[in-house]
């Protein structure tokens, strides 16, 4: 095997799992996450010369590429017109339930969020973007970003409480 191909395979193998998890947070399902992962690696290999070790670790750079790949696809769709009724206010019993959720269960709940909510939630809570940065990347206002985050949190709380009630009914 050619040296460049071998290096590409090694790079892919070393980072595919962590980047897949990033893609999965933004995707509707595993299939879309796999598409995002493939597009991310195409972009990584295409722009590898732009990586600068003095500006940070490769893993951080690759995660940014993956996030941007997901966002580019999501931007093609209209994401930010979800109604307020989808984010009904919920009493915050979700905090008690949260500790009982596995990472897999929490990821499944995040994936159920409408795309706009999910995107802002991931960018702000998990990836550490500010509302100003989110607004610039998604071409929305910072207040829209804040509203989307609030709605995402409320909807997640509702989903967590509902899941907890279902589990208690099954095991109660």
Distance CA 52, CA 65 (A): 13
Question: At the top level of CATH, which class does the domain 1-76 belong to?
Answer: mainly alpha
SS3 150: helix
Whether the Cβ atoms of residue 160 and residue 96 lie closer than 8 Å to each other: no
Give the DSSP letter of residue 124.
I
pLDDT at 98: 47
Q: What tens digit of pLDDT does each residue of 129-166 get?
A: 999 999 999 999 999 999 999 999 999 988 888 877 77
Mean pLDDT of the chain: 82
The more confident residue out of 120 and 100 is 120
State the CATH architecture for 79-172. Answer: Orthogonal Bundle (1.10)
Give the DSSP letter of residue 123.
I
The model carries a pTM of 0.66
Could you state, in order of their start, the residue ranges of all structural domains in the chain? 1-76, 79-172
Task: Please report which confidence band the pLDDT of residue 96 belongs to, taking 50, 70 and 90 as the band edges.
Answer: very low
| Long-range CB contacts (within 8 A, 24+) of 104-110 | 105/163, 107/24, 107/25, 109/156, 109/159, 109/160, 109/163, 110/25, 110/156
Whether the Cβ atoms of residue 24 and residue 63 lie closer than 8 Å to each other: no
Instruction: Please state the rounded mean pLDDT for residues 118-128.
Output: 92
């Amino acid at each position: 095997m050619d040296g460049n191909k071998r290096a590409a395979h090694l790079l892919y193998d070393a980072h595919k799992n962590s980047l897949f998890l990033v893609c999965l947070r933004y995707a509707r399902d595993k299939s879309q996450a796999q598409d995002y992962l493939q597009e991310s690696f195409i972009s990584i290999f295409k722009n590898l010369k732009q990586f600068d070790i003095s500006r940070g670790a490769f893993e951080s750079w690759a995660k940014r590429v993956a996030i941007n790949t997901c966002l580019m696809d999501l931007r093609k769709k209209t994401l930010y017109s979800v109604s307020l009724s989808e984010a009904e206010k919920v009493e915050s019993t979700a905090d008690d339930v949260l500790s009982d959720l596995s990472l897999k269960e929490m990821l499944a709940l995040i994936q159920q969020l409408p795309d706009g909510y999910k995107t802002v939630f991931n960018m702000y809570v998990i990836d550490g973007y500010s509302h100003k940065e989110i607004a610039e990347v998604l071409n929305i206002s910072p207040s829209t970003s804040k509203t989307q985050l609030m709605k995402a949190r409320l909807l997640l709380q509702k989903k967590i409480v509902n899941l907890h009630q279902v589990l208690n009914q099954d095991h109660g």
